[in-house]
Amino acid sequence: MSTIHAPGPLARLRTDFPILNRRVNGKRLVYLDSAATAQKPQSVLDATIDFYTQRNANVHRGVYTLAEEATAAYEEARAKAARFIGAPSPREVIFTRSTTEAMNLVAHAWARSNLNAGDAVVLTHMEHHANVVPWHMLAAERGIELRWIPLTPEGHLDLTELPRLLDGAKLLGVTKVSNVLGTINDIEPLAEAAHAAGAVVLVDAAQAAPHITLEVASMGADFLAFSGHKMLGPTGIGVLWGRRELLEAMPPFLGGGEMITDVRLDGFTPAELPWKFEAGTPPIAEAVGLGAAIDYLRDVGMDAVRAHEVSVTSYAVSSLGERFGDRFRIHGPADPSERSGVLSFEFTTSGGDPVHPHDIAQVLDSEGVCVRAGHHCAKPLMRILGVNATARASFYVYNDEDDVDALGDALTAVDKMFT
């Protein structure tokens, strides 16, 4: 089935992504797994190749032209990342490998020098393992207490008990956007309550940075983390932003080259921010690629990115709802303006049998449609939802209504196969 519709305003962007020209299993590639990792536009690929073919050298070390150009390119990427999230200074932007590494940096360098037995860390039931496991590890090591903000049946944070949960807490760790439910959390009031209780606020922006304008100051965050690969950039590059006073007071995370001003037989003096937290050769070409991804998103405009996401998600919710009724059931808020373009769903055949998410993903793959099936690194949430796994389709700038129709057609194939 194919529905007649006007192409969205970003439909032209598709041609910027070379991988979308390939075919999979004899079918047009329909990539609906951008929440796991996004595809890369030609400009990001070009920037990475240009770095390696024209400017490759290690950074902060050489006095020769190539090394100075490499250093300038790396630091320019940091400045772009700082502007992208409204950070007051690039000195507050630390390049990491990923969101996961950024969260671990906070759990090691900030938490291990600020938290002791009996201190409380508040998390939510919708956190990704990256914002759960580092705190479990710290709890096991230090005896800190973990408290959890529960969810409403619609998949929003249930803030009824927030004052009690925050009472005496030292840190609130919360995702801006759920990678399972798509829920967009309003960080500002949470941060206000956390600060009033004396807690710092760590925001997981892995699913937010690709889609939503982020302004760290107005949001009230103290730390914020995101990954380049989910926002059109390369893998192996992430960002931790932190408030300068907090970062200044923290000890280094990893030790080695690059992160020192002096090393003696009897000790060392760490480098200034942000290099204090960047031990060893950093991901240079990856940072340059991230800079190009930020340029691309800025050119499109983050408001247009978000508007496109809402439009494709609305179309998906309504058209798949019309086609399959209750047999296509999504987790999380029903209103597309309250959610991201992540659709975790259950699918039931016309014979009334639920289809396992892995079976859905496999049949969809045979139709050229890539969706994720599994626990999405959110096992606590899966348990709360009462499922082992979900199938998840996620949309980005290069997806359009045709992709949603292809998903619908492929689900019809699932129905045929399992009825």
Ligand X SMILES: Cc1ncc(COP(=O)(O)O)c(C=O)c1O
Alpha-carbon span 343 to 317, nearest angstrom: 9
Q: Return phi, psi of residue 31, to 5°.
A: -95, 110
Q: Residue 394 Cβ, how far from ligand X at the closest point, in Å? A: 10
39 contacts ligand X (rule: CB under 6 A): no
Residues sharing a CB contact under 8 Å with residue 77, sequence separation 6 or more, in sequence order? 95, 287, 288, 290, 291, 294
104 contacts ligand X (rule: CB under 6 A): no
In this complex, which beta carbon is closest to ligand X, that of residue 175 or of residue 313? 175
342 contacts ligand X (rule: CB under 6 A): no
Residues sharing a CB contact under 8 Å with residue 386, sequence separation 6 or more, in sequence order? none
In this complex, which beta carbon is closest to ligand X, that of residue 98 or of residue 313? 98
For the segment 46-75, give every residue that binds ligand X (CB under 6 A): none
Classify burial at 117, counting beta carbons within 10 Å of its beta carbon; exposed 0-12, middle 13-18, buried 19 or more: exposed
203 contacts ligand X (rule: CB under 6 A): no
339 contacts ligand X (rule: CB under 6 A): no
DSSP assignment, residue 1? Answer: -
Q: Residue 377 Cβ, how far from ligand X at the closest point, in Å? A: 6
For the segment 118-137, give every residue that binds ligand X (CB under 6 A): 128, 130
**DSSP strand pairing (223-227 vs 200-204):** parallel
For the segment 368-407, give every residue that binds ligand X (CB under 6 A): 377
Alpha-carbon span 95 to 102, nearest angstrom: 8
Alpha-carbon span 320 to 316, nearest angstrom: 6
313 contacts ligand X (rule: CB under 6 A): no
214 contacts ligand X (rule: CB under 6 A): no
Among 115, 106, 302, smallest CA distance to 204 is for 106
Which one of residues 92, 204, 295, 346 is an interface residue with ligand X (CB under 6 A)?
Answer: 204
344 contacts ligand X (rule: CB under 6 A): no
179 contacts ligand X (rule: CB under 6 A): yes
Q: Residue 175 Cβ, how far from ligand X at the closest point, in Å? A: 5
Over the window 215 to 254, marking each residue x when it contacts ligand X by CB under 6 A and - when it does not, the resulting string is ------------x---------------------------
Alpha-carbon span 78 to 240, nearest angstrom: 11
Binding piece for ligand X, criterion CB under 6 A, among 58-66, 203-211, 262-270, 404-412: 203-211
Distances (CA, A) of 411 to 33, 361, 417: 16, 10, 10
Cβ–Cβ under 8 Å, residues 129 and 378: yes
CA angle 208, 211, 212 (to 5 degrees): 70
286 contacts ligand X (rule: CB under 6 A): no
Binding piece for ligand X, criterion CB under 6 A, among 49-57, 98-106, 143-151, 319-327: 98-106
In this complex, which beta carbon is closest to ligand X, that of residue 210 or of residue 220? 210
Query: Residue 270: beta bridge partners?
Result: 260
Q: Using omega within 30 degrees of 0 as the cis cutoff, is the peptide bond preceding 354 cis?
A: no
Which one of residues 39, 48, 71, 100 is an interface residue with ligand X (CB under 6 A)?
Answer: 100
Q: Residue 214 Cβ, how far from ligand X at the closest point, in Å? A: 14
Given the structure tokens 């009996």, which residue do they identify?
118
207 contacts ligand X (rule: CB under 6 A): yes
Single-letter amino acid code for the residue at 129 = H
Binding piece for ligand X, criterion CB under 6 A, among 64-72, 74-82, 95-103, 299-307: 95-103
Name the residues that contact ligand X, by CB under 6 A.
98-100, 128, 130, 175, 179, 204, 206-207, 227, 377
